[in-house]
Structure 1
Amino acid sequence: MARGAALPPDRRLPVPQGGRTVVAKGPRTVHLGRMRRSRRTGTWQLLCAAFAASAVLYGAIVGGQIEQLFNAAVTGAERAVVAMGFGVKRVMVEGQKNATDAAITTALAAGPETLMLAFDTDAAKERLEAVPWIRHAQVMRLLPSTLQVVIEERDPYAMWQNKGQTFVVDDEGVVLAPALPQAFPELPLVVGEGAAKHAAELYEILAPYTDLKNRMLAALRVGDRRWTLKLRTGTEIMLPDGNVEMALDSLEKLQADRGVFERDIAAIDMRLLDRITLRMRETTAAAADEVAPASAPTSATGAVKKPDGRT
C-alpha cells in the first residue's frame, strides 16, 4: 500500500483467537479552519468581557461607589473598634492658663466616636499651635482611650490700643485676644501702629528708670519710629528716634535737679539731641501773665540746659 493512501472503508483486521471483531472505520476529516475560528471567537469574548468589567469598575470609581463602599467598610470597622473601648473618652491638658476649653477642644477635633489608633497627633499639634494663646503643643495617645495634651502658652506682655480697639499682646507683638476691661490691669498700655511689635524693646530700655515707669500711663508710638511717654499727670515726654538711653539719663538728672515731673508741664520735648524744651500748660502760662509785672517777660516754653551745659 502506498504511503499516505487511505485504508479501505471496511477492512477487517485480524481478530485474536477468542476475541471479537473490530471494524476499522475510515479516517475522520478535521476542519482546522473551523477550529481556529472557534478559538478566535473565545478570545474576543474574553476581551469583551474584560473590557465590560473594566468599564463597570471605572464607572463605579468615577461615581464614587467604590470609595463609598470602602468608607462604609472602614467606618464599620472603626465603630467596632470604638465599641471595644478604643474611642477617645478622656482628654488631659497640662499648661493651660488663658487658652479657653472651647479653643482647645475645637483644635483637637476629637470625640467619643474618634478612633484612638487612627487619630493624627501631628495634625492636632498644628491646629493647637494655630490658637493665638498657644506657643507650643504636644499631643500623645494613652491607650486605650485618653489623649494627653501639653501646651506652652504665650505670656501676656502689654495692652495694645490701635484704631479704637484694644488687644492683649505678647512680647513679640502677637495678638492673643481682645482685651477685656480689667482683665490685665498690671500690663502697660502701648498705643499706635507698630507699638505692639516694639513694646518689649521700649520696656527693656525703661527697666532701670523705675521712677519714670511708675509714673507712666501709656507709651504712644509716633510714625512707627519713636515714642512719646504719657505720664499720669498728663505730661508728655517726647523721646528721640535714637539715643533713647542718653535722653532718659538727661531726663532723670532734670527730675533730680528741678522736679519736672511734679511741675505743671504739658510736654518735655527731647527730640533734639542738644536741648530739652519744656512747654508749660496754657492755664499756668496765663496765670503767670496775670501775676508777673509788665516789664517781666513770660513764656509758655523754655529751653533747659543739657547735663553738658548746653541749652
Structure 2
Amino acid sequence: MQPLIRRAKTPRADPAPSRWAWRLQRLMLTPGFRFGLRFGVPFVIVFAGASIYLSDDARRQVILDTVAEARRAIEERPEFMVQVMAIDGASTETGEDIREILPIDFPVSSFDLDLEHIRRTVSGLDPVKEASVRIRPGGILHIEVTPRVPVAIWRQPDGLTLIDETGAHVSGLARRSLRPDLPLVAGDGADKAVAEALTLVEAAAPLGSRLRGVVRVGLRRWDLVLDRNQRVLLPEEGAVSALERVIALENAQDLLTRDVARVDMRLAQRPTVKMNEAATQEWWRIRQIEMNGQ
C-alpha cells in the first residue's frame, strides 16, 4: 500500500489591485483628467498638425489671401457700399468745410468707414456744437449737425470773433457792421463770462443805441462802454444793481447826458463821477472868473 501524498495548495491570486493599478483607476475617475483625455489630447494633436502645416510660408500666404478675398467679396457687396454724403443742419460754409476735412472717395464700403472718427472730426469744427453720423439705407452717409448759435461778438487784438453762450469760438467776423444785432464784448476772459455780459446788456436796454459794448477788466468785473467815450465802471459783485442805479440817475437827472467821462460804481457807498476834459476846463475857467470877480 502506497503512502498518501498530499499536494501543496496553489495560493490564490490576490483580488485587490496593485498600488499602481489603484492609482490609475483613481486618476481615471478624476474630472480634470477625463476632460484632458476627451478634449486636451485631441486639441494638442490638432494644434500640432496645424502648426506643422502652417510652418510653410507659402501655405500660410495662400490661406491669408483666401480669407482676404472672401472678406473683400462680402464687404464690396452692393448693399454694403456707401455712395454719397448728406449733411443736415449745417450752413453752406460749414458743409463745405466738412466735405473738405472728410476726403472720402465714394463709393466706399461701409466696413471701411470709421463713424466715430468721422463724428469726432466733424465735432472738432468751431461752428459745430454736436454731430451724429450714421449710414442710411440706400448707401447714404448721413451727418446731422447741431450748429453753434453766436450770441456775442468778442473783440480781440487780432480781430472780431463770433462766440456762443458758452464762449466757444464760432467763426471770425470781418466787420462789426455785419452783425449789428449782437452785443460786443472785449477784454481778456470775456469769452468765459458771456452769460454775465448778456445780463448786463439786457439791463442796459434803456440806454438804447448809446451802448457800444462791455469790457472785461482784470478777469473779475465789467466796464460798460457808451458813445461819446463814456464809461460806467461796475463792481465785481452786484454789477446789475449798480447799473440800474446809474440808469435811474440818468432818467432822473440826465447823468449820462451831461459832459461825464466816467461813472465809477465800484464803491457802492461812494460812487464818483469824472467830467470830461472840456467840461473840466470850462469849470476851471468859470471858477477863476468867480475868484477874480471877488
Label 1:70 to 1:99 Cα distance change in 2 as closer, same or farther (>3 A): farther
Query: Contact 1:266–1:279 at 8 Å: present in 2 too?
Result: yes
Q: What corresponds to 1:300 in structure 2?
A: none
Query: Contact 2:167–2:191 at 8 Å: present in 1 too?
Result: yes
Select the residue among 272, 285, 288 that pairs with 1:290: 285
User: Using the alignment, how far apart are the partners of 1:231 and 1:286 within structure 2?
Assistant: 22
User: Using the alignment, how far apart are the partners of 1:199 and 1:244 within structure 2?
Assistant: 14
Q: What corresponds to 1:245 in structure 2?
A: 240
Label 1:260 to 1:110 Cα distance change in 2 as closer, same or farther (>3 A): same
Matches within 5 A, 1:247-266: 247-266=242-261
Q: CA deviation at 1:227?
A: 0.6
Query: Contact 1:78–1:115 at 8 Å: present in 2 too?
Result: no
Q: What corresponds to 1:150 in structure 2?
A: 144
Q: Structure 2 unaligned segments of length 5 or more: list them.
A: 1-47
User: Using the alignment, how far apart are the partners of 2:70 and 2:283 within structure 1?
Assistant: 89
Which SS does the other structure have where 1:131 is aligned?
coil
Which SS does the other structure have where 1:156 is aligned?
coil
Q: CA deviation at 1:145?
A: 2.0
Select the residue among 165, 168, 176 that pairs with 2:162: 168
Q: What corresponds to 1:54 in structure 2?
A: 55
Q: CA deviation at 1:267?
A: 0.7
User: Using the alignment, how far apart are the partners of 2:162 and 2:73 within structure 1?
Assistant: 46
Deviation sequence 1:134-176 (CA, Å, 0-9, x none): 1121222123321222211110111112233321111111112
Instruction: Give the TM-score taking structure 1 as reference length.
Output: 0.67
Which SS does the other structure have where 1:217 is aligned?
strand
Q: CA deviation at 1:115?
A: 1.2
Q: What corresponds to 2:184 in structure 1?
A: 189
Letter in 2 for 1:207: E
Query: Is 2:205 the counterpart of 1:204?
Result: no
Select the residue among 221, 225, 241 that pairs with 1:226: 221
Give the greater-gyration-radius structure (CA): 1
Query: Is 2:124 the counterpart of 1:114?
Result: no
Q: CA deviation at 1:236?
A: 0.8
Select the residue among 268, 276, 296 that pairs with 2:263: 268
Label 1:71 to 1:244 Cα distance change in 2 as closer, same or farther (>3 A): farther
Which SS does the other structure have where 1:105 is aligned?
helix
User: Using the alignment, how far apart are the partners of 1:165 and 1:152 within structure 2?
Assistant: 26
Q: CA deviation at 1:56?
A: 4.5
User: Using the alignment, how far apart are the partners of 1:226 and 1:204 within structure 2?
Assistant: 13
Select the residue among 117, 133, 137 that pairs with 1:139: 133
Label 1:143 to 1:225 Cα distance change in 2 as closer, same or farther (>3 A): same
Q: What corresponds to 1:123 in structure 2?
A: 117
User: Using the alignment, how far apart are the partners of 2:53 and 2:257 within structure 1?
Assistant: 96
Q: CA deviation at 1:73?
A: 4.1
Instruction: Give the TM-score taking structure 2 as reference length.
Output: 0.70
Q: CA deviation at 1:87?
A: 3.6
Deviation sequence 1:161-211 (CA, Å, 0-9, x none): 223332111111111222222442322111111101112222124424312
Q: What corresponds to 1:39 in structure 2?
A: none
Higher helix share: 2
User: Using the alignment, how far apart are the partners of 1:177 and 1:74 within structure 2?
Assistant: 47
Q: CA deviation at 1:228?
A: 0.8
Query: Contact 2:216–2:223 at 8 Å: present in 1 too?
Result: yes
Query: Contact 1:107–1:124 at 8 Å: present in 2 too?
Result: no
Q: What corresponds to 1:101 in structure 2?
A: 95
Which SS does the other structure have where 1:173 is aligned?
coil
Deviation sequence 1:109-147 (CA, Å, 0-9, x none): 533132135433333222221111111212221233212
Q: CA deviation at 1:250?
A: 1.3
User: Using the alignment, how far apart are the partners of 1:170 and 1:200 within structure 2?
Assistant: 10
Letter in 2 for 1:121: L
Q: CA deviation at 1:271?
A: 0.9
Label 1:55 to 1:294 Cα distance change in 2 as closer, same or farther (>3 A): farther
Matches within 5 A, 1:66-85: 73=69, 77=73, 80-81=76-77, 84=78
Label 1:54 to 1:183 Cα distance change in 2 as closer, same or farther (>3 A): farther
Query: Contact 1:88–1:111 at 8 Å: present in 2 too?
Result: no
Which SS does the other structure have where 2:252 is aligned?
helix
